[in-house]
Structure 1
């Protein structure tokens, strides 16, 4: 009886089907079914009632599942103690993050792997942490905005605002707006939110300005590149464009106007069973990302 098969059993229970567990773990469905069958034979007990439409725990499976969670948590803590002594953490961490945060996260993750070269990182785009954290078997996700009351642990990383940027080429060709009224007469590059809303009303601390949207996209990275390419003026978090700002590919305009701020969270299911590599990465990002944001505040 292998620890990996016990963990597989708990994932099948959480996701409710062999197929969902197979997709989350990048395994063939037949592999999951076979391993659960072998576990049942080793225990001499049926863990699931199987029908064509539903998979549910038997009485034996229910009791075994709840006891097993405690056992696996203890096993993980014991393994972490050994790794703490060896001071050489090894393992894999699966992280969910918003597509538009790639430029901000990539240097931080590269720095983390320089510190811990034996930790493998598996990164997945996600727009819905409530479902994706289980369906993709993620160790944690990074989420911006409101947090639903769903029983997850949520730790605030920072509050993120947006500023107004343009490329030097665009400003040379079209002039620089001196106030919000002039801004509304320029071409704007707008982000489209996951729910389909167009972000063409830029909410500032003191004002809201309706811009003339010439180009929109639901990927912040594409928006950033369009602004750098001189297609218009954009409204984005400086943390998501650090390299372009440092290289002066983007210039901040109307610096007296800033947006209201939005919280960014690091979210995971619970405090039990967190591996040492996961805990190290969580602690690292909670410190590193605010430090990076501090570097961008005056940009």
Structure 2
């Protein structure tokens, strides 16, 4: 059933004139007449009594007018609601975050709920490489350089630094670390990336940057698990500065050889390309970006 035919019928019923209905709809009297005829043929009944001087609703026409007006009013309300949602952040946003880094953003997401109470978040904390389009994510945050992808909108959120960290308990029971060479006598907790490759430690040594691959006592494929293992005294690990910062402040970790810190990978937000970014998605993205700038 064509909504335009129903609108034409309602216009004729309200104006009691095919001519005035056509003027109000911005079309011709002939088009309005054909629309009403199609509707009558579909319903199998006459909706109007027509004379040379007047147009009146039949009994069936009066019954159908009540339902048609309610249907059109419902459609208008739906259109207004959808228009409002495009302007006001409303609805669910699906967010995929790296495991360890994502926990860093949880306080920011809590303040986002206060700022936009009509936005609901669905959050996954994982280090696997998800597919934003196939899995239906609104925003995917990834750490590292990205390959060009025409199906994605990419926004850089911040830069990170990499440093060595260990628990106070571990450092208090092992030899002092004064230089990079002292690391040879220490236990290492190493991260294994999604490709299965062990991530080496990249360290600043004076004017030179060295990449070393210490023999691990523990290999972790989960970013948060690596942090937990380091806090629990398994050894030293190389951790992103923003992730380590709250644990250092709480006394759970100590920063080792800060002069050996190196620039880390960038952080990007990936958004599947659409005709227009929804207000809810833009609000969440901007809030995360603001939190990382702070």
Using the size of structure 2 for normalisation, the TM-score is 0.66
- Is 1:279 aligned to 2:278, yes or no? no
- Is 1:166 aligned to 2:166, yes or no? yes
- Separation in structure 1 between the aligned mates of residue 269 and residue 80 of structure 2, nearest angstrom: 25
Count of aligned pairs: 211
Larger displacement relative to structure 2 (206-215 or 115-124): 206-215
Aligned runs of 1:106-145 on 2, under 5 Å? Answer: 106-124=106-124, 125=126, 127-129=128-130, 132-145=131-144
Aligned runs of 1:1-299 on 2, under 5 Å? Answer: 78-80=83-85, 83=88, 89-124=89-124, 125=126, 127-129=128-130, 132-151=131-150, 152-199=152-199, 201-205=200-204, 206-270=209-273, 272-291=275-294
* Structure-2 change in CA distance of 1:263 and 1:82 (3 Å): closer
- Separation in structure 2 between the aligned mates of residue 98 and residue 285 of structure 1, nearest angstrom: 14
Q: Cα distance, 1:97 vs. partner? A: 1.6
Q: Cα distance, 1:81 vs. partner? A: 5.7
Q: Which runs of 5+ in 2 are unaligned?
A: 2-78
Q: Which runs of 5+ in 1 are unaligned?
A: 2-73, 84-88, 292-299
- Separation in structure 2 between the aligned mates of residue 177 and residue 82 of structure 1, nearest angstrom: 55
- Separation in structure 2 between the aligned mates of residue 210 and residue 184 of structure 1, nearest angstrom: 10
Structure ID, larger Rg: 2
Larger displacement relative to structure 2 (102-111 or 250-259): 102-111
Q: Cα distance, 1:78 vs. partner? A: 2.9
CA RMSD of aligned residues (A): 2.2
Q: Cα distance, 1:134 vs. partner? A: 1.7
What SS class does the counterpart of residue 185 from structure 2 fall into? coil
What SS class does the counterpart of residue 260 from structure 1 fall into? strand
Using the size of structure 1 for normalisation, the TM-score is 0.65
Per-residue displacement from partner, 1:252-293 (whole Å, max 9, x unpaired)? 0111101232111011122523221111111111111121xx
Q: Which residue of 2 aligns with 1:12?
A: none
- Separation in structure 1 between the aligned mates of residue 97 and residue 115 of structure 2, nearest angstrom: 21
Q: Given that residues 203 and 260 in structure 1 are in contact (C-alpha distance below 8 angstroms), is that contact kept between their aligned partners in structure 2? A: no
Q: Given that residues 129 and 194 in structure 2 are in contact (C-alpha distance below 8 angstroms), is that contact kept between their aligned partners in structure 1? A: no
What SS class does the counterpart of residue 215 from structure 1 fall into? strand
Q: Cα distance, 1:148 vs. partner? A: 1.9
Q: Given that residues 76 and 273 in structure 1 are in contact (C-alpha distance below 8 angstroms), is that contact kept between their aligned partners in structure 2? A: no
Q: Cα distance, 1:126 vs. partner? A: 6.1
Deviation >6 Å, runs of 4+: 74-77
- Separation in structure 1 between the aligned mates of residue 224 and residue 111 of structure 2, nearest angstrom: 21
